[in-house]
Amino acid sequence: MGERAIAWGTLESPYGTLVVAASEKGLLRVTMPGEEPDVALEEIAVLAADASEEPVLVAEPIRQLEAYFEQQLTEFTLEIDWALAGNGFGAEVLKACAEIPYGETRTYSQIAEAAGKPNAQRAAGTALGGNPLAPVVPCHRVILASGKLGNYGGGEPLKRELLHMEGALGPKALVKVEQATPAGGADSSPGPDQARAA
């Protein structure tokens, strides 16, 4: 059992119910659509001296997330508790991802470089795949060097929708992304910049 006081609450987003958890240090966890809430609650229980459905710590994160989904907020101003972000390179990847501005994208290579290992695109993708703080840490803004979206824990349609909502995908980009790829074609297996992103 950890030492943090952790509170959690739920948010009805356009994509389903999300669990939002925070400690006295800041936002700790946001679940993805379709993710089992119990899994997130088990994760935070490991860190918590006390975990409760208490509105005080999560009120501001929920307010900002609601404003984001309503397109009324383009920059989160929340303190972050990085306790579930891992250590070393993985944590640096998530911190680099947190710096991507609204309406912009970066490639996996760019994020790996920003995190200190320019040739570690795959490892960067793995770290993004474990992102416990989407969309506040906006791993949906990390795409392939080819311009294709790449994977996303909430599914590629959600990644496309969030980027489109933010204005990061114009009509030409959407056409490029949605072009069909023949089965077994060049895009059926990961390239050097393909990675599992959250």
**Catalytic residue numbers, as ranges:** 139
Instruction: Using the Cα atoms of residue 93, residue 96, residue 97 and residue 98 in order, give the sign of their dihedral.
Output: positive
- The DSSP annotation for 153-165 comes to TT-HHHHHHHHHH
Residue 65: φ, ψ to 5°? -65, -40
CA–CA separation, 50 and 45 (whole Å): 8
CA–CA separation, 4 and 51 (whole Å): 8
Residue 103: φ, ψ to 5°? 85, 0
Q: Tokens at residue 60, please?
A: 């501001």
